[in-house]
Amino acid sequence: MTELEPALRELRSTCREVAVDLRSRALAVDARPLEMAAHLDSETLTSLRTASTPRRFRDCDDSLFGASYTGSCLARVVANAELACGDAGILSANTGASLAGLAVDALGSDDQQERFYRAIADGRTWTFFAMTEEARGSDASAMQTRLDKDPGGGWRLNGAKRYVANAVRGGIGVVFARTGPSALTIRAALVQLPAAGFDAHLLDMIGLRGACISGLAFDGVRILPDELLGSHLPASRRGMWGAGRVFNVMRAQIAAQALGVGFAAWGYVREQRPGWSGLDLMSARLAAARALLYDVAATIDGSPGDRRSPSIAKLHVTDLAVQATRWAEYALGPGSLAEHPLLEKWCRDVFAFEFMDGTSNILRLNIAPVPARQGLAS
């Protein structure tokens, strides 16, 4: 079992405190996700943005969370589990580096990282990470979005993406596409908006509405040579290698957010029905899941390329979180979703986590790969 060092215990305590502020904003952001002006300058969201920015790109170092917030996968898991217990939706609604930042950190040159972080330094710029495509889900190897050679130099981005957080209001992001048929030709491009040929539209979602989940279309969006990430890296590490490492961290982080929603539902039942007989059992299940996540995050820190451990964690924890919200709905009785708006929101939000950064079917393949079919004996 992974024991938290003092700095991480302090981080956990701080996140528990600021989660109260996140919860106070949850229903307002869910109802009006495009109206974030009243929230972005809050101390909590400002500190979250600062803490998720590498120190060399910070204009100041004023963060509630200290240096440990993004120092490791374990730190991210510890923080996100507590913050999402306040509300996961508003975490997705905040500006800042987010998933695109992890991709730029893994694949970007020093100049590209500088460009990315300076673009979001105003605290008013959302980022986006575009991998998933309609009819292909999270099977990245099947993507059809293309980077076609531009006779004038660079590339032209053509295709479409779907289920991309904050793209409809984004200012800069990372889009994955392929320059050829093989897996090694999948590359990541830094796209800064506005850009000719780029179109984004808001999708009608019932969960995590603060994330402004979007659909994207690209019609000859120009990508300059210095906007293609990973050119300074060996060919085997330019595209899917970096994406895989991003996914391993994000799967653990998303599982932590799902766990936070599960703990929120459990805590709400404890508050509303303190004598409910199922409280101890659900508490034990959630605590065991948290211990699993801590162990998996520590494993990722030691072995960033390990896909199996984060897949196991995300598969288990996202399912448990759904069970926890259903349990809470049952515990609070008929009409509970109408009487308890926060619980109703959590019951909508929790289903989104299964589909983020690897659906359950993809995760099962990571855990137990299908063996290659044997040819028939001649």
The pLDDT of residue 66: 66
Cα distances (angstroms) measured from residue 183 to each of 141, 178, 235, 355, 377: 6, 8, 11, 22, 30
Question: Under 8 Å CB-to-CB from 260, ≥6 apart: which residues?
Answer: 80, 81, 82, 83, 84, 85, 86, 88
pLDDT tens-digit map of 193-248: 999 999 999 999 999 999 999 999 999 999 999 999 999 988 877 777 666 777 78
The pLDDT of residue 236: 76
pLDDT tens-digit map of 16-25: 999 999 999 9
The pLDDT of residue 55: 83
The pLDDT of residue 68: 62
The gap from C-alpha 18 to its chain's centroid, in whole angstroms, comes to 20
The pLDDT of residue 373: 46
The pLDDT of residue 32: 96
Look at residue 201 and give its three-state secondary structure: strand
CATH number of the domain at 241-367, please?
Answer: 1.20.140.10
The pLDDT of residue 372: 52
pTM above 0.75, yes or no: yes
Q: What are phi and psi of 162, to 5 degrees?
A: -145, 155
Tell me which residue of 241, 319, 310 sits closest to 73, measured CA to CA: 310
Tell me which residue of 45, 99, 81 sits closest to 257, measured CA to CA: 81
Residue indicated by tokens 């575009």 = 130
- Positions of the chain with pLDDT under 70: 60-63, 66-68, 138, 241-243, 370-378
Question: Under 8 Å CB-to-CB from 121, ≥6 apart: which residues?
Answer: 53, 57, 59
Domain 126-237 has CATH 3.40.50.10190: no
The pLDDT of residue 242: 67
Query: How crowded is the C-beta side of 322, counted as CA atoms within 13 Å?
Result: 11
